[in-house]
Amino acid sequence: MKFPSRQRSIASNLTWMNLLVSGIALVLVYISYLAYTVFSIRSAAIESLSAEARVLGANSVSAIVFDDKASAEETLSALRYSGDVLDGEIYTQGGTLFAKYPASGPVPLPPHRMPEMPGPAHWANGADIVVGTRIVLQGKQIGTVYVHAHLEGIRQQALEFAAIAGGILLLCLGVALLVGSSFRRILAQPIISLAQTARMVSRYRDYSLRFTSERSFDELASLTDAFNEMLAEIQQQDRALEQAKVDLELRVEERTSQLQVANRELEAFSYTVAHDMRAPLQTIGNVCYLIMETERTESSEEEKHMVLQLRASVVSMSSMIDDLLNLSLSTSAPLRLTRLDLSSVAGSILQGLAEANPKRKFTPVVEQRCYVNADAGLMQIVLQNLLRNAWKFTSKTEGAQIEFGCTKRGADTVFYVRDNGAGFDQHLVDRLFKPFQRLHAASDFAGTGIGLATVQRIIRRHGGEVWAEGEVEKGATFYFTVDAPRS
């Protein structure tokens, strides 16, 4: 048996409530009955003791008048037939003890038993009762008689009734348990199964569940109806939500494919444009070359200078077209993975740069045996872009140094290209990889602004990532990983 609490089921709480209510009722009944019993026993006892005292008083009149203590004690000795009486005393009007019962033995004199007491009175203290009454002869008080009784019956009654009440309490316990079990069936069971259904619904998110009750009236039925209605509502909303989600996904898919098609078309277009622009540009370049090669005396210095400028523009535009084609290739070309030695690729690019510009002084540092599993053509574009960048931004640096290497970061290999050139502001690093975004003025460093964007696209296609660290005038480092699948 445990005390009712919030954690326990409604059925056991109901049982406890029953028990508690009947227990309290019983205790109240017991207390009031006991009080009533004690009161009635006591008042009856007081009544009878008073009568007894009056009789004793009347019978002791002559004994007092004629100073016959023996007679008075004989009269008092009649008290032995009253079971509850402990002692009795007769006092004369002067207040001296005249006779007592029992004749031998001490006489208890509680302070309240004043012999000068004016009239009949009684005192009660628990089961102890003292009754006093005047002894009157011819209208004059000649003495007082007291009778002291201990009402053993009161205690006995209380005990007996306590036993009866205890028995009834046990009976009530049994009845409460029985009633509780029937309550479980009638009242608690529907609530319990309602709670179970609610738990199932919340656990499995199954809003198609319904709670069935065999009863069609009372609050419980309306509760279950409301519960079921709520479930239906939720189910409907759930369905609508699901439908909306499906619709949204379909729409996204549709838009994505539309976007992809548009993108592909755009790229194909830009590729075609770039590719087709190459041939006329080549022609312009060739013509410039022929003009410069042909010895024309009449041509002035100014004309020669203009042709040189034209040629430089053709070269610049040609490299721009190359870059655009590379950017286009970086997304559209299929990946052909091979095992590559990036160190030798980097070495040959740096060597090419050095040979093309024999006047520039710089120190190439290439770490050997940096291998990667990647598309050879695309990785060539990546390294070309990064190393050319480094070359470009160290053009104004004394003691320029361009470094390629690889380190381990966990299971990945991180490749890097480092230079000690112009560097960049680390705060603007996000703009580095966006196409056509430039951190430096075109007058300082020539460039199209799409090289790093191309690098990022290629690395991402290989499942890797690229990032940069730099500081203005202290150089920059570009890192990348290549997480290409093995096959």
Partner 1 sequence: MVRARTVAKQVLSHLAMVCVCLCCSAQTTVSVTRSDVEAAYLYNFAKFVQWPEDKAAESQPFSICLLGEDEFGRRLDDLIANETFQGRRIVAKRFSSVAAAESCQIVFIGQSEEARLSKDLAALNTKHVLTVSDLPQFLERGGAIQFLFQNNRVRFAVNLAAAQQAGLTLSSELLKVAVFVEGTSAKEGVQ
Q: Which is nearer to partner 1, 63 or 288 (CB)?
A: 63
Q: Long-range contacts: 216-219, Cβ < 8 Å, 24+?
A: none
Give the largest CA-CA distance in the chain: 187
Is the CB of 62 or the CB of 236 nearer to partner 1?
62
What is the rounded distance in angstroms from the CA atom of residue 173 to the CA atom of residue 170? 5
Closest CB to partner 1 among residues 13, 59: 59
Nearest C-alpha neighbor of 415 from the set 465, 470, 347: 465
Phi-psi group of 325: left, alpha or beta (phi > 0 → left; psi -120 to 50 → alpha; rest → beta): alpha
Is the bond preceding 111 in cis, omega lying within 30 degrees of 0?
A: no
Q: How far is the CB of 62 from partner 1 (least distance, A)?
A: 4
Amino acid at 41: I
Comparison of 70 and 162: residue with beta carbon closer to partner 1 = 70
Minimal distance, residue 7 CB to partner 1, in Å: 59
Tokens coding 233 = 């509502």
Burial class (CB in 10 A: 0-12, 13-18, 19+), 140: exposed
Q: How far is the CB of 89 from partner 1 (least distance, A)?
A: 14
How far apart are CB 147 and partner 1 at their closest, in Å? 20
Got the DSSP string for 409-468?
ETTEEEEEEEE-SS---GGGHHHHTSTT--SS-TTTS---S-HHHHHHHHHHHTT--EEE
Considering beta carbons, is residue 12 or 93 the nearer one to partner 1? 93
Nearer to partner 1, 97 or 209 (CB): 97
Between 66 and 217, name the residue whose CB sits nearer to partner 1: 66
Cβ 96 to partner 1 shortest distance, Å: 8
Tokens, residue 182: 């029937």
Q: Which is nearer to partner 1, 72 or 345 (CB)?
A: 72
- Measured CA distances, 387 to 345, 348, 380, 390, 401 (Å): 11, 11, 10, 5, 11
Cα 267 to Cα 324, 332, 450: the distances in Å are 10, 8, 14
Q: What is the Cα–Cα distance from 89 to 77, expressed in whole angstroms?
A: 10
- Residue 146 CB, shortest distance to partner 1, in Å, is 18
In the complex with partner 1, which residue's Cβ is closer, 75 or 197?
75
Interaction site with partner 1 (CB under 8 A): 59, 61-63, 65-68, 71, 74, 106, 137-138
| Tokens 């090289």, residue located | 451
Closest approach of Cβ 139 to partner 1, in Å?
10
Compute the least distance from the CB of residue 164 to partner 1, in Å.
Answer: 39
128 in Cβ contact with 148 (< 8 Å): yes
- What is the closest distance, in whole angstroms, from the C-beta atom of residue 38 to partner 1 in the complex? 33
Which of 100, 184 has the CB closer to partner 1? 100
**311 vs 281, 283, 337, 358, 380, CA distance in Å?**
10, 11, 38, 21, 27
CA angle 345, 350, 356 (to 5 degrees): 125
Contact assessment for residue 401 and residue 437, using Cβ atoms and an 8 Å cutoff: no
Q: Report the nearest approach of partner 1 to the CB of residue 50 (Å).
A: 21
